[in-house]
Structure 1
Amino acid sequence: MKLKQLEYAIKVANSGSFSQAAKELYTSQPNISATINSLEEELGYKIFHRTNQGITLTKKGITFLSYAKNIYEELDKINEIKDSDVYKKISIGCTFDHITVSEAFVEFCAAHQDTPSINFKLYNGSSIDIIDDIYNRRTQLGILSINKIVLDSYINTMGNRNLQFDVIKDLDLNVHLRIGHPLLQEESFDFAKLSNYPLVVFNFNVKSNYTIATEFHDILSKGFINIDKMITIDHRDTRDKLVQKSNAFTVEVEKHPKMEPKNQTTVIPIPDAKMAIVFVRKKNEPLTKEIVAFIELFKKELTNLLGY
């Protein structure tokens, strides 16, 4: 078996056709087909179903592809050793769009901006998709916010995928709304009445069947979130402007001191609601020095957030 065969199989699976794979690899379709046929003959099983409608992976092909991708990713790591001083790479997935993460990432990028070759990636997603990315080595580090009530059962469920979970901090979960919100004019804050107003949530563009119940099912049980009154966005600025200029509200952790404007919104702590900030990564695999550097920057931002 040759690496070229693995490369062709991965490309065919990703592109969905032999012809498209040939274009992307700058070779001919007959060459792609012959290479895949030779690989399947050597393996003793089919990787792809071939029909008039196109190609799909066989059951064994799905397993093969998973291992093939891992081989290629490990090969990339081997090749990166000699270039560690001139090439730096990190990939971080986060379940919440918070300034602590972005501040740490910006500072990290600035510190390495003169490196000849860099590949830095920070993205938002659901916990399900980020864990899947780490398991399949598409991402090096996940930063998750998990409700304390379900934390232990969550880790027990996900820990069987050879992943390591490290709880970093516990943060209070709050309702964020504008200073002039009608509910703030009452003598005492009535959480139940929040169901009359829209909740602003993030769209993670996820691959899984993600819903708000996936991340906040225990918050839903408190009865103040109306799933029929929701606004879905994918930018922090849009979220903040919606809260500042309407009666919509968000549910999130503490605001960072750098967040502005400070005098337009306020927070109401949700009783008995805390989120644990959790790092997740592959178990028994050393962190790169770049990931370690980012983690230190992120912990510093958390200290700035909490004041201790």
Structure 2
Amino acid sequence: MTLQQLKYAMVVARTGSMNKAAESLYISQPTLTNTIRGLEEETGITLFNRTNKGVNLTSEGSDFIFYAKKVCDQYEQLIWRYDGKGNTRKVFSVSSQHYAFVCEAFAEVVKSYDASTFHFSILETTTPKTIEDVRNQISEVGVLFLSDFNRDELKRIFVDSGLTYKKIVSCRFYVYLGKNHPLADRTIIDYEDIIKYPIITYEQGKNSPLYMSEEIFGEQDYPYSVKVSDRASMLQIMKKLNGFTFCSGAVKGAVGWSDYKVIPLRESAHLPYSSMEIGYIHKDELSEIGKKFIDELYKAAPAEEYQPEGTDRPEADTSNPDK
């Protein structure tokens, strides 16, 4: 089995026609037909149903093309990374929970480097995936939050995964809602008032434990909740349903900010947790670009908690997760 065979099969699947596929590949139809037939004989499966109107994938063929695409994509990435002149394109990737200030910091880093020599990626994702990406070195840095609700469990996971955690900023909880929300004119919001409205939360994956949530309390504490997978969906549904979410306050200046408000959540004896910290995890020693990103994170962190470069930055001790 060769990459050429895989690519030919992908073109046939895309065009639905041996003739059209052969034309786009600049080869004869008999050559393409023989290549596909040879691939089917080698794999022992029928990839395509042939009709007088063209070809279409069998169920086994669909599975095959799915994996073939992955193989071809990885090959293309390998070719892209090594340019044939002895130069290696560097890769810098960040995984994060959903924070606008992380995107801001990432953009500043990208602007500081020659994009032709780097492959940059930022992945807004779930808490488990953020940890997994850094543990498996898919991403150099992961950004997430800790509170009294999840701190002990997550610190244990960091230690078990060989990850170092460092705090960026401590901050109180805020309520994030649309500017036309019934409580949007408040200067401070009580928990008992806001939970009468639907909370919009991020999906963390099937069977994900409560401490992996991006919210400050367990799901059972909210009588009405809606789960989403991305920030755009959250903002749309928040407006349509008069919903809300909790946040760090680090959303000012984000895209669409003028349509929303951030209001402090009042501290009270009824709230088991009223503050949080946002930090980052990494596995090995940070690269030069990784250190640059961390500096930009501190700059972009919530303004009231900003610590200028050169000041002492508190570090969390992960050697004893019970602290």
**How would you bin the TM-score normalised by the shorter chain?**
0.5 to 0.7
Partner of 2:247: 252
Partner of 1:126: 126
CA distance in 2, matches of 1:182, 1:139: 41
For the aligned residue pairs, the C-alpha RMSD in angstroms reads 4.3
Alpha carbons of structure 1 residues 298 and 130: separation in structure 2 relative to 1, 3 Å: same
Q: What TM-score comes out, normalization by structure 1 length? A: 0.62
1:23 aligns with 2:12: no
Partner of 2:234: 239
Partner of 1:279: 280
Alpha carbons of structure 1 residues 305 and 280: separation in structure 2 relative to 1, 3 Å: same
Partner of 2:291: 292
1:265 aligns with 2:261: yes
Q: Higher helix proportion, which one?
A: 1
CA distance in 2, matches of 1:290, 1:307: 21
Partner of 2:161: 161
Match of 2:218 among 210, 217, 220: 220
Question: Radius of gyration: which is bigger?
Answer: 2
For 1:264-283, what per-residue CA distance to the aligned partner results, in whole angstroms no more than 9, with x for missing partners?
Answer: 5241325342222121121x
Aligned-pair CA distance for 1:119: 0.8
Alpha carbons of structure 1 residues 265 and 303: separation in structure 2 relative to 1, 3 Å: closer
Aligned-pair CA distance for 1:306: 3.1
Alpha carbons of structure 1 residues 187 and 145: separation in structure 2 relative to 1, 3 Å: closer
Amino acid at match of 1:249: F
Amino acid at match of 2:6: K
Q: Is the 8 A contact 1:198 1:231 kept in 2?
A: no
More displaced, 296-305 or 122-131?
296-305
SS at match of 2:277: strand
The correspondence of residues 12-91 of structure 1 with structure 2, limited to 5 A, is 23=6, 83=87, 87-91=89-93
Same amino acid, percent of matched pairs: 17
CA distance in 2, matches of 1:184, 1:304: 22
Partner of 1:177: 177
Partner of 1:47: none
Q: Is the 8 A contact 1:88 1:290 kept in 2?
A: no
SS at match of 1:148: coil
Alpha carbons of structure 1 residues 177 and 281: separation in structure 2 relative to 1, 3 Å: same
Aligned-pair CA distance for 1:109: 1.2
SS at match of 1:122: strand
For 1:1-55, what per-residue CA distance to the aligned partner results, in whole angstroms no more than 9, with x for missing partners?
Answer: xxxxxxxxxxxxxxxxx7999626999869x99xxxxxxxxxxxxxxxxxxx89x
Aligned length: 243
SS at match of 1:130: helix
CA distance in 2, matches of 1:189, 1:270: 6
1:302 aligns with 2:301: yes
SS at match of 1:129: helix
1:100 aligns with 2:101: yes
For 1:233-259, what per-residue CA distance to the aligned partner results, in whole angstroms no more than 9, with x for missing partners?
Answer: 5134x5345445652111111134424
Amino acid at match of 1:214: M
CA distance in 1, matches of 2:208, 2:129: 9
Partner of 1:200: 200
Q: Is the 8 A contact 1:255 1:305 kept in 2?
A: no
CA distance in 2, matches of 1:164, 1:175: 30
Partner of 1:139: 139
Aligned-pair CA distance for 1:194: 3.2
Aligned-pair CA distance for 1:295: 1.1
Which runs of 5 or more structure 2 residues have no equivalent in the other structure? 10-34, 44-59, 62-77, 268-272, 308-323
CA distance in 2, matches of 1:188, 1:222: 24
SS at match of 2:174: strand
Alpha carbons of structure 1 residues 175 and 287: separation in structure 2 relative to 1, 3 Å: same
Partner of 2:208: 210
Aligned-pair CA distance for 1:231: 4.9
Which runs of 5 or more structure 1 residues have no equivalent in the other structure? 1-17, 34-52, 55-74
Q: What TM-score comes out, normalization by structure 2 length? A: 0.59
